[in-house]
Amino acid sequence: MPGLVLFGTAIGFIVAADLGANPWTVLAQGISERLGVSVGVVVSMIGLTLLALFVPLREPAGPATVLNVLIVGPVVDVVVAIVPDDPHLAVRIALLVVAPPLLGVATGLYLGSGLGPGPRDGLMTAWARRGVPVGWARTGIELSALTLGWLLGGVVGVGTIYVGLTVGFWVRTFLPRLQVDAPSR
């Protein structure tokens, strides 16, 4: 639960910074613009849609997979609501700078728990189990989300590049440190 709350907080910081978002958030922003609902609602809608795909893809889900759909989106909306709409550029940059390390810790906490992947991670592993190399699967999925989101009006900018280039480092840094070892029998 703390990892999912922290994940939603980091995404909320990225949205509030308004300097460009990670691919899935760009998609959520674009859909949000078209439907007239909050970004957090769309984050949950996307997660629920991807979770539904787990069934035909025969992808295993766990409690954290379901909780991801229920928690991350509402937290994004709370964070966006409490951060000032038009903060000074220095504040916006600070929000953006801290987001990838927070995403790394958050991912380490929720994936490291061993209680199931997030819906977006499950889509990647489903492709990988079908022979698509993991790197290609993730890149293809992320670029598809980014392109569709941008075409729908999501915010692409320097933040998109910054998050894209740094989040992997932070996940690699924190996931091994926060991963819970399965109990031995």
More confident residue, 54 or 105: 105
| Cα separation, 86 vs 72, whole angstroms | 23
Name the residue among 179, 142, 180 with its Cα closest to residue 161.
142
Domain extents for the chain? 2-178
| Cα separation, 99 vs 54, whole angstroms | 28
Q: What percent of the chain stands above pLDDT 70?
A: 98
pLDDT (tens digit, 9 = 90+) per residue, 150-175?
999 999 999 999 998 888 888 888 88
Name the residue among 95, 91, 67 with its Cα closest to residue 5.
67
The confidence band for 128, taking pLDDT boundaries of 50, 70 and 90, is confident
**What pLDDT, on a 0 to 100 scale, did the predictor assign at position 118?**
84
